[in-house]
Structure 1
Amino acid sequence: MTDMNIPQDLLLSKRDGLPDALRALIKAYPRAGWVQNPNYSQLIAFWLDRHMMFRRLLDQLDSDVKAALDGAESQDVYKRKLHRFGGMLINELHGHHQIEDAQYFPVMAKLEKNVERGFDILDTDHHALDGILSDLATSANGVLQHGGATAGFIDAAAAFKGRLDAFHPMLNRHLTDEEELVVPVLLKYDPPQFR
Structure 2
Amino acid sequence: MSDPLDIATRHGLPDELRVLARLYPRSDWHGHPNFSDLVAFWLDRHLMFREIITRMQSATQMHMASPQARFGTEIARYTGFFLNQLHEHHGIEDHHYFPHLKTLDFRLVRAFDMLDADHHALDGHIHALAGATNTVLADLRAGKAGETGPLLEAQQEFDRFLDRHLADEEEVIVPVLLKYAPDIG
Q: Deviations over 1:25-49 (max 9, x none)?
A: 1110111111111111000000000
Does the CA contact (< 8 Å) of 2:129 and 2:155 recur in 1? yes
Superposed CA RMSD? 1.1
1:184 partnered with 2:182: no
- Specify the code of the residue in structure 1 equivalent to 2:175: P
Does the CA contact (< 8 Å) of 2:63 and 2:71 recur in 1? yes
- Specify the code of the residue in structure 2 equivalent to 1:137: A
2:114 equivalent among 121, 124, 129: 121
- Specify the code of the residue in structure 2 equivalent to 1:8: D
- Specify the code of the residue in structure 2 equivalent to 1:78: F
Q: Which residue of 2 aligns with 1:101?
A: 94
Does the CA contact (< 8 Å) of 1:94 and 1:130 recur in 2? no
Q: 1:193 to 1:165 in 2, by over 3 A?
A: closer
Q: Deviations over 1:37-96 (max 9, x none)?
A: 11110000000000000000011001000010001523xx00111011101110010000
Q: Which residue of 2 aligns with 1:4?
A: none
Q: Which residue of 1 aligns with 2:158?
A: 167
Q: Which residue of 2 aligns with 1:80?
A: 73
How far off its partner does 1:9 sit? 3.1
Equivalents in 2 of 1:169, 1:132: separation in Å?
Answer: 10
2:60 equivalent among 61, 65, 70: 65
Unaligned 5+ residue runs, structure 1? 1-6
Equivalents in 1 of 2:33, 2:91: separation in Å?
Answer: 28
- Specify the code of the residue in structure 2 equivalent to 1:128: A
Deviating more after overlay: 58-67 vs 128-137: 128-137
Q: Which residue of 1 aligns with 2:14?
A: 19
State the aligned residue count.
Answer: 182
Q: Which residue of 2 aligns with 1:32?
A: 27
Match of 1:10, SS? coil
Equivalents in 1 of 2:166, 2:184: separation in Å?
Answer: 22
TM-score (norm 2): 0.95
- What is the percentage of aligned positions where both structures have the same residue? 42
Q: Which residue of 2 aligns with 1:142?
A: 135
Equivalents in 2 of 1:161, 1:120: separation in Å?
Answer: 30
Equivalents in 1 of 2:65, 2:114: separation in Å?
Answer: 39
Does the CA contact (< 8 Å) of 2:11 and 2:164 recur in 1? yes
Equivalents in 1 of 2:74, 2:18: separation in Å?
Answer: 38
Deviating more after overlay: 41-50 vs 163-172: 163-172
Match of 2:4, SS? helix
